[in-house]
C-alpha cells in the first residue's frame, strides 16, 4: 500500500468527510466500519479525483469495499495518469 496515498486519503476521510473511526486500516470497510453513506462516498470521490488528479471509473468503484481497495485504486489511477502524461510528452 502506498503510504503517501493512504495518508492523504485518511486526511480526506477524517477532515472533509468527518469519518470518526479511531483507526483507519486497510481492512476497514468504507460503509460498515467507517460509516460512509452514498452521499459521503460521492463527495469523497469528487475530492479524491481533484486532490489526486485521477479519474475513477464506475467499474473500479463497484469493487471498492475497503480502505485498502480505495488506496489500491487511487494508486493505480496515479500510475496510469503518470504513464499517459509521459506518453503525451514523448509524442
Look at residue 83 in the predicted model and tell me its pLDDT.
59
Q: Position of cell 509521459?
A: 86
pLDDT 10s digits, 9-56: 999 999 988 898 788 999 999 999 999 888 888 898 899 999 999 998
Average pLDDT over residues 55-68: 90
Host domain of residue 39: 3-90
Phi-psi region for residue 24, left (φ > 0), alpha (ψ -120 to 50) or beta? beta
Q: What is the per-residue DSSP string for 6-71?
A: HHHHHHIIIIIS----S---TT-BTTTTT---HHHHHHHHHHHHHHHT----HHHHHT--BHHHHH
* Reported pTM: 0.81
Look at residue 10 in the predicted model and tell me its pLDDT.
94
Q: Is the distance from CB of 48 to CB of 61 less than 8 angstroms?
A: no
Assign residue 84 the CATH number of its domain. 1.10.1200.10
Total structural domains in the chain? 1
Amino acid at each position: 500500500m502506498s503510504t503517501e496515498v493512504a495518508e492523504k486519503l485518511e486526511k480526506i476521510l477524517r477532515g472533509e468527510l468527518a469519518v470518526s473511526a479511531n483507526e483507519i486500516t486497510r481492512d476497514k470497510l468504507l460503509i460498515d466500519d467507517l460509516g460512509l453513506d452514498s452521499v459521503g462516498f460521492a463527495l469523497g470521490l469528487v475530492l479524491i479525483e481533484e486532490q489526486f488528479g485521477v479519474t475513477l471509473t464506475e467499474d473500479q468503484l463497484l469493487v471498492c469495499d475497503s480502505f485498502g481497495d480505495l488506496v489500491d485504486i487511487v494508486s493505480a489511477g496515479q500510475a496510469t495518469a503518470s504513464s499517459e502524461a509521459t506518453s503525451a510528452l514523448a509524442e
